[in-house]
Amino acid sequence: MVEKNRLFTPGPTSMFAHTLEIGSSQLPYNRTDQFSQITLEIIDGLKYVFGTQEDVVIFSSSGTGAMEAAVINFLNKNDRVLIINGGTFGERWVELCTVHGIPYDEMKLEPGQSPLLENLDYKLSNKKYSALLINAHETSTGVLYDTKAIGRITHKYNILFIVDAISTICADTFLMDKWHVDVAVLSSQKALALPPGISFLALNQNAKEKLKEKTSRSYYFDISEYLDNQDRGQMPFTPAIGIFMMLHERLQNIQELGIESAITQHIKISNHFREGIKKLSFSIFPNTPSNALTSIKCHKGINAFELVKKLSEDFNCIVAPCAGDLKQDVFRVSHSGDQSFKDVNFLLYAIKNCLKQYSPNTNIKKSKEG
């Protein structure tokens, strides 16, 4: 009898018990001075995790909503942007620019690869581009890009640097101001270990100047409206109040312990898992993985997609498959949320037991109990 359902997905992640308790409480009315104070404290906490002294706006949306807000507020058809596309979420920047008619070029990467900095420097040096769009951590493959080094290049050429930091903040070091990031986005269901439903966009003074030059093409995602309302601790529209209350508590906890503590926990958990998985028939997929996630490449004869199904069906261990060409060869394990060494050891035990029933010439067979 499996004792519990263990979630090892990159979002949503396992939530902490005290956060879940807050989520079960009656919602407060948001148009009060008390709620405004909570909102202002949340914004201060978000500045802390982004590593910025500048502004952060809060949307009741998924992370893709914040990504779209970045596109429609800071870019228009007179821009030309360069997109680093290394997977599903790099492709999302492409799709957003396509939908909104933003001219773009792609730097397409092989799955798990990072951009060569000298190539990127050369592309940006001709002043053809007004903005660079990247995913600090390409969650679909697990690769962590060198955002700090890329920020030095964009800063040198005065190019707006827009970063999807959704799955890296609180798991890896991210210093928005020091790394010359102009716009960064985050959402609630990754290393913050909250329900999906709210996202955040941080912007520096350079981005605010760009904002004045553009006309937002959205009623709901008009950043200027959020900045005006947040000055008094309110949102222009009804927020996801329940998640706000959980976020308030979660950010206070992170600030009390220090963000380094959250990052260190991710490092310990990810290293423990990687040491264990290397002893089995697997290898780590990207050369520069995030602490948030491990992408595991199966050796020949092991079907990754079938292994993911079997871990769920037989052991209640929920890990993430990959899509496209990686579907049969790679699966992903998150290290965020309420996750312990005991949980990791159980997952390694479950994987090892799956392998015992695996024939190199066939997919994973059903257990006798199944």
What are the boundaries of each domain within the chain? 6-13+259-356, 17-257
pLDDT tens-place string over residues 200-210: 999 999 999 99
Least confident of 1-10, 118-127, 250-259, 333-342: 1-10
Band the pLDDT of 130: cuts 50, 70, 90: very high
Percentage of the chain modeled with pLDDT above 70: 95
The size of the chain, in residues, is 370
Which has more confidence, 136 or 4? 136
* Residues whose CB falls within 8 Å of the CB of residue 297, separated by 6 or more in sequence, listed in order: 282, 283, 284, 285, 329, 330
Token pair 């270990």 is found at 193
Taking the C-alpha atoms of residue 88 and residue 318, their distance in angstroms, rounded to an integer, is 20
User: Which CATH class name applies to 6-13+259-356?
Assistant: alpha beta
pLDDT of residue 369: 33
The single-letter code of the amino acid at 324 is: G
Handedness of CA 16, 18, 21, 27 (dihedral sign): negative
pLDDT of residue 3: 59
Write down the CATH number for the domain with range 17-257: 3.40.640.10
- Residue 67: pLDDT over 70: yes
Helices (H) and strands (E) in the chain — how many of each?
12, 15
- Residue 144: pLDDT over 50: yes
Q: Are strands 6-7 and 137-138 parallel, antiparallel or unpaired?
A: unpaired
Q: How far is CA 59 from CA 77, 229, 239, 243, 244, in A?
A: 24, 12, 7, 11, 11
- Residue 189: pLDDT over 70: yes
